[in-house]
Chain A
Amino acid sequence: MTKISLQFFAVFVLWCSNSLYACAGATLYARLGGNAGVASICNTLIDRVATDPILGRSFKDSKLSRIKHLLAEQICELSGGPCRYSGDSMKEVHAGHQISEAEFFQMVDMLRQVLKEYHTDLGTINQLLKLLAPMKRDIVEHRTRVVK
């Protein structure tokens, strides 16, 4: 019995992850693969950005396990999952790192790539990015232009 229901579940998950319409009722969190899915996405993304020649500088000497955990918590909460983000505000987290707009967009691209690799459909990807987009103003540091 358990075996049968597991098989059904597996079929459902596969079907679900491949079609947005099939699972229109499922939360974004579920479509990202729930707890395990969100954790894998965050682990892969952070490992990749931390070793990236451009983005890596902001992660130097940092405890990656903590970043992965907090990012997963944040995405879980944002996407309707049963978590509460326990970290600092985006402004506090990124203050002083002088993150440029180009770096921000590069990280977005890398997240998009990771999501594609996890076979996330385009609708789900866009829905998540739309939730993350407003954070740009707290992450990118706008240096005051010196007028001569």
Chain B
Amino acid sequence: MKYRREQLCATLILLGVQLVDVALASRVTLNVKTSDGKVGEDAVVVFNPIGTSYPSQRASASAIVDQIHKRFVPKVSVVRAGTTINFPNSDQIRHQVYSFSPAKIFTLKLYAGSTQTGIVFDKPGLVVLGCNIHDSMVAYLVVVDSPYFAKISASESTSLDLPAGRYRMRVWHPDLKTSVPPTEIVVDTSSNKEISLKLDLLSAPETVVEFPE
């Protein structure tokens, strides 16, 4: 009986902590457009808290970058450092994924129907993925050191919950003309916040701008 009461107590405390957490967070809507007014699909927005700590990464976090009809799907991913990426290869032919990016240098041979162990991306930074066999295949993996990030979707509005505080906001897109300097934003709990950004994109840039440090 006593044990149960303690258990209930612990549950209530946990619940309380969670409620406080939610109460102090604010919903931030990201309104990212291109200079010609279209949704800035695949733009990555990352928020690093200034002066506060943030929850640590789950050890088991994983994501998928698939190979479908000689394309990487999704083309852009944003994950926290320490995430395992699996490359399942849904094509019937082989691929050879590689990266020369300093954040992770690797080559991975993928054969149809054989399973591969995933690759852990443990260092923050931009990783550009290519295929040795198929020139036109390219994907981008933005590895970040914060739990607060979003990728802009074309089909639905993008928003995330941010605890009240100050943040350093970084924005990136594979087709950016020039890199966007990081800016500081303040999130308070008095109202929901909308951040509007306009990105200057090129249709086929020769070089991809780095993800800001």
Closest beta carbon of chain B to A92's beta carbon, Å: 6
Do A63 and B133 have beta carbons less than 8 Å apart? Answer: yes
Residues of B within 8 A of A60 (CB): 70
Q: Give which listed residue, B70, B91, B111, B132, contacts A92 with CB less than 8 A.
A: B111
Closest A residue, CB atoms, query B130: A63
Q: Give which listed residue, B94, B134, B137, contacts A93 with CB less than 8 A.
A: B94
Closest B residue, CB atoms, query A67: B133
Do A61 and B70 have beta carbons less than 8 Å apart? Answer: yes
Q: How far is the CA of A96 from the CA of B136 in the complex (A)?
A: 19
Q: Give which listed residue, B92, B111, B135, contacts A62 with CB less than 8 A.
A: B135
Q: How far is the CA of A96 from the CA of B70 in the complex (A)?
A: 12
Do A92 and B134 have beta carbons less than 8 Å apart? Answer: no
Cβ < 8 Å to A, chain B residues 77-106: 91-94
Do A95 and B70 have beta carbons less than 8 Å apart? Answer: no
Closest A residue, CB atoms, query B109: A88
Q: How far is the CA of A61 from the CA of B67 in the complex (A)?
A: 14
Is A97's beta carbon under 8 Å from chain B?
A: yes
Residues of B within 8 A of A88 (CB): 94, 109
Q: Give which listed residue, B91, B109, B132, contacts A63 with CB less than 8 A.
A: B132
Do B134 and A62 have beta carbons less than 8 Å apart? Answer: yes
Q: How far is the CA of A95 from the CA of B94 in the complex (A)?
A: 7
**Interface majority SS on B: helix, strand, loop or mixed?**
loop
Contacts across chains A and B counted by CB atoms under 8 Å: 32
Q: Give which listed residue, A61, A66, A93, A95, contacts B92 with CB less than 8 A.
A: A95
Is B12's beta carbon under 8 Å from chain A?
A: no
Do B94 and A61 have beta carbons less than 8 Å apart? Answer: no
Is B8's beta carbon under 8 Å from chain A?
A: no
Is B112's beta carbon under 8 Å from chain A?
A: yes
Closest A residue, CB atoms, query B70: A61
Q: How far is the CA of A92 from the CA of B114 in the complex (A)?
A: 11
Q: How many residues of A contact B (CB 8 A)?
A: 12
Cβ < 8 Å to B, chain A residues 19-77: 60-63, 66
Do B133 and A92 have beta carbons less than 8 Å apart? Answer: no
Do B91 and A61 have beta carbons less than 8 Å apart? Answer: no
Do A61 and B134 have beta carbons less than 8 Å apart? Answer: yes
Closest beta carbon of chain B to A65's beta carbon, Å: 9
Closest A residue, CB atoms, query B135: A63
Interface string of B132-147 (1 = CB under 8 A from A): 1111110000000000
Do B93 and A96 have beta carbons less than 8 Å apart? Answer: yes
Q: How far is the CA of A96 from the CA of B92 in the complex (A)?
A: 5
Residues of A within 8 A of B92 (CB): 95-96, 98
Do A61 and B135 have beta carbons less than 8 Å apart? Answer: yes
Cβ < 8 Å to A, chain B residues 35-52: none
Given contacts A63-B132, A93-B94, A95-B93, 8 further A-B contacts (CB under 8 A): A61-B70, A62-B133, A62-B134, A63-B133, A66-B132, A88-B94, A96-B94, A96-B112
15 A–B contact pairs at CB < 8 A? Answer: A60-B70, A61-B134, A61-B135, A61-B136, A61-B137, A62-B133, A63-B133, A63-B134, A66-B133, A88-B109, A92-B111, A95-B93, A95-B94, A95-B111, A96-B92
Which are the 6 A-B pairs with shortest beta-carbon distances?
A: A96-B92, A96-B93, A63-B135, A96-B112, A61-B134, A61-B70
